[in-house]
């Protein structure tokens, strides 16, 4: 993948000093590919501006309430039942939820067996301010508290029968790259976040058993990470979901996918859950996921090094050299069109 010795021209890249994990890793692997770093943006053939994919489209995936609206419009079956909650809508939507699930012969129940709901702030991550409720009245009580967190939230049907590994809950992370000129691409290898705490089916206060964020509340690592290569039977469902969501994104934001002189792309981490029936559910998508920056990470050699090498080959080098991007995918990436 070295450019040095292949091209007579010297290619350069430039990133801002306080760069993200994505930029940090790209800088390392661009140097491995033979590019030179420059402090002068005007001399760079690849820079931050090429990572500035359509902000509107990125927010639509990143912000949970906007993703829920996108999914509801284009592919509602890929995500658990979801309601949007904010200061103006929570009463009406709670009534809708109650009518749909808790009302029988005009009698309102407060609890339904094997039914729970997870409330997530739309703009936060790392498990911040997440609540799980298994009584209808708990949701109302939460919103009647004067000090509850304001802003948009999603209230989502909680998967009470998740598939488990050694009695522990897990989620899956796969990487998706979305480009202006060639659409979306899925990297076929990902990893599992397996909770360190045993799954506690009826104890929703034990969030470390229910949430599989790597750094729950910014605390110490709360999961074990293992590659997905040995859990491939559900991969076709992953492909189908990513195709459905990114196709919906293209329909909702056609201007973000029109070919222009400015060639851009964005990296996302798509998170999934599997239930006992082996059905895969989309949970959320994270723009610019927090990639590890240390070389001794357990997945560095098996996942991250091949991923970044493929990233450079499929997306960065075509932009750097002015060549066309492979629309069918290469270096492992699969086109979602």
Select from 126, 157, 188 the last residue of a domain.
157
pLDDT reported for residue 216: 64
Asked if residue 111 and residue 22 are part of one domain, the reply reads: no
Instruction: Say which residue, 6 or 47, is predicted with more confidence.
Output: 47
Give residue-wise pLDDT tens across range 87-141: 999 999 999 999 999 999 999 999 999 999 999 999 988 778 999 999 999 999 9
pLDDT of residue 314: 96
Question: How far is Cα 270 from Cα 321, in angstroms, rounded to an integer?
Answer: 29
Does a structural domain hold residue 99?
Answer: yes
Please indicate, yes or no, whether residues 171 and 300 belong to a single structural domain of this protein: yes
CATH code: domain of residue 240: 3.30.470.20
Strand pairing category for 153-157 and 334-335: unpaired
Residue 100 Cα distances to 95, 112, 120, 284, angstroms: 9, 12, 21, 24
One domain for residues 41 and 63: no
Do 313 and 210 share a structural domain? yes
Query: Across the chain, what does the average pLDDT equal?
Result: 93
Number of folded domains that form the chain: 3
Reported as a single tens digit per residue, the pLDDT across 306-328 is: 999 999 999 999 999 999 999 99
Is pLDDT above 70 for 13? yes
Whether the Cβ atoms of residue 214 and residue 127 lie closer than 8 Å to each other: no
Q: What is the pLDDT, as a whole number, of residue 5?
A: 43
Please indicate, yes or no, whether residues 132 and 279 belong to a single structural domain of this protein: no
72 and 179 both lie in a single domain: yes
Which residues are paired to 118 by β-bridges? 132, 156
User: Does residue 262 sit in the same domain as residue 122?
Assistant: no
Is 1 among the domain residues? Answer: no
Task: Print the domain residue range for 147.
Answer: 82-157
Mean pLDDT of all residues in 177-181: 97
State yes or no: pLDDT of 86 exceeds 80. yes
Torsion of CA 299, 270, 315, 233, to 10 degrees: 70
Q: Answer yes or no: is 313 within a domain.
A: yes
pLDDT tens by residue, 244-283: 999 999 999 999 999 888 899 999 999 999 999 999 999 9
DSSP 248-277: HHHHH-GGGGS--SS--EEEEEEEEEEBTT
Q: Higher model confidence: residue 111 or residue 19?
A: 111
Q: Are 89 and 123 within one domain?
A: yes
Q: Which of 104, 126, 157 is the last residue of a domain?
A: 157
**Claim to verify: residue 220 and residue 133 sit in the same structural domain:** no
> Quick check: is 326 in a domain?
yes
Choosing from 123, 157, 191, the residue where a domain stops is 157
Residue 41 shares a structural domain with residue 89? no
Confidence (pLDDT) at 262:
87
Same domain, 137 and 261: no
State pTM to two decimals: 0.94
């Amino acid at each position: 993948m070295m450019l040095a010795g292949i091209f007579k021209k010297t290619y350069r890249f430039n990133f801002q000093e306080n760069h993200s994990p994505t930029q940090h890793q790209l800088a390392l692997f661009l140097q491995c590919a033979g590019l030179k770093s420059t402090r002068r943006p005007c001399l760079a053939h690849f820079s931050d501006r090429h990572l500035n994919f359509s902000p509107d489209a990125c927010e639509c995936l990143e912000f949970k309430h906007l993703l829920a609206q996108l999914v509801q419009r284009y592919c509602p079956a890929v995500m658990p039942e979801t309601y949007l909650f904010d200061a103006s809508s929570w009463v009406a939507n709670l009534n809708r939820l109650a009518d749909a699930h808790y009302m029988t012969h005009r009698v309102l129940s407060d609890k339904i067996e094997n039914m729970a709901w997870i409330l997530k702030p739309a703009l936060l991550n790392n498990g911040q301010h997440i609540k799980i409720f298994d009584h209808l009245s708990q949701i109302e009580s939460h919103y009647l508290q004067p000090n509850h967190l304001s802003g948009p939230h999603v209230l989502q049907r909680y998967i009470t029968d998740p598939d488990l590994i050694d009695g522990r809950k897990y989620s899956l992370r796969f990487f998706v790259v979305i480009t202006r000129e060639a659409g979306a691409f899925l990297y076929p290898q990902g990893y599992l976040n397996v909770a360190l705490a045993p799954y506690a089916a009826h104890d929703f206060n034990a969030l470390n058993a229910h949430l599989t964020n790597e750094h729950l509340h910014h605390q110490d690592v709360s999961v074990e990470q293992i590659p997905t290569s040995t859990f491939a039977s559900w991969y076709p469902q992953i492909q189908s979901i990513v195709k459905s969501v990114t196709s919906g994104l293209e329909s909702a934001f056609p201007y973000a996918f029109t070919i222009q002189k400015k060639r851009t792309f964005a990296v996302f981490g798509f998170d999934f859950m599997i239930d006992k029936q082996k059905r895969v559910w989309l949970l959320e998508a994270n723009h610019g996921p927090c990639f590890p920056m240390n070389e001794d990470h357990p997945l560095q050699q098996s996942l991250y090094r091949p991923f970044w090498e493929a990233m450079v080959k499929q997306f960065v080098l075509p932009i750097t050299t002015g060549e066309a991007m492979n629309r069918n995918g290469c270096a492992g990436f699969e086109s979602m069109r």
